[in-house]
């Protein structure tokens, strides 16, 4: 980074890898860490478990900034979508003695619950599963479904790139075909 002590950098809510965080601090710039507390909790969990020999498994979208930051906090993480079959999970993860599983804070509750059922059918030695889905996200997802059931039309307003917006749109659309994603005044 070409920053100086006169510069200020804000780390957004998704967080960053430990390597990037340290590189920013090393520039001498003022670093304001706005990482969401829920994401920081995940960082702490994966760092601690990774250092103690656990294989970290992260459920989420591999290219999402939050997942990239989480993976940059532990050794050789495995990122899964949650849609893997029992056979795939057994094949991918059976070589590890201890598994630590965390999720992207905006991960689908429905996929998470299905994933847990699949994991319970696998014969792992030691497994620690941390439900790291943000409770605010869970509430929003439930509310979107309930509103979509009772409304004639649903407008989900937010960036088309946003994981939160995409999930809310998909959930509302699943119960109300008159659901639209809006990201600009023109739309």
Query: Does residue 66 carry a catalytic annotation?
Result: yes
Please tell me which residue in 21, 66, 146, 178 is annotated as part of the active site.
66
Q: How many CB atoms lie within 10 A of CB 156?
A: 22
Distances from the Cα of 94 to the Cα of 59, 64, 71, 85, 119, angstroms: 17, 26, 20, 14, 11
The full DSSP string for 4-59 is: -TT-EEEE-TT---HHHHHHHHHTT-EEEE---HHHHHHHHHHHHHHHTTPEEEEE
Residue 27 CA to residue 37 CA, distance in Å, equals 25
Cβ atoms of 39 and 104 closer than 8 Å? no
Characterize the bridge pairing of strands 98-103 and 126-129. parallel
Residue 44 CA to residue 181 CA, distance in Å, equals 35
- For the annotated catalytic residues, the residue numbers are 66
């Amino acid at each position: 980074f070409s920053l100086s002590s006169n510069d200020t950098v804000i780390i957004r809510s998704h967080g960053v890898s430990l390597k990037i965080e340290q590189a920013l601090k090393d520039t001498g710039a003022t670093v304001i860490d706005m990482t969401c507390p829920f994401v920081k909790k995940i960082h702490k969990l994966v760092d601690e478990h990774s250092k103690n020999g656990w294989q970290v498994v992260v459920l989420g979208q591999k290219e999402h900034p939050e997942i990239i930051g989480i993976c940059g906090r532990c050794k050789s993480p495995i990122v899964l979508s949650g849609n893997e079959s029992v056979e795939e999970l057994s094949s991918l993860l059976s070589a590890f003695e201890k598994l630590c599983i965390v999720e992207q804070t905006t991960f689908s509750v429905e996929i998470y619950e299905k994933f847990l059922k699949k994991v319970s059918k696998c014969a792992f030695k030691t497994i620690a599963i941390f439900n790291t889905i943000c409770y605010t996200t869970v509430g929003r997802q439930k509310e979107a479904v309930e509103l979509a059931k009772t409304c004639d039309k649903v407008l989900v307003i937010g960036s088309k790139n946003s994981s939160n917006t995409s999930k809310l749109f998909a959930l509302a659309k699943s119960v109300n075909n008159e659901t639209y994603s809006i990201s600009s005044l023109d739309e």
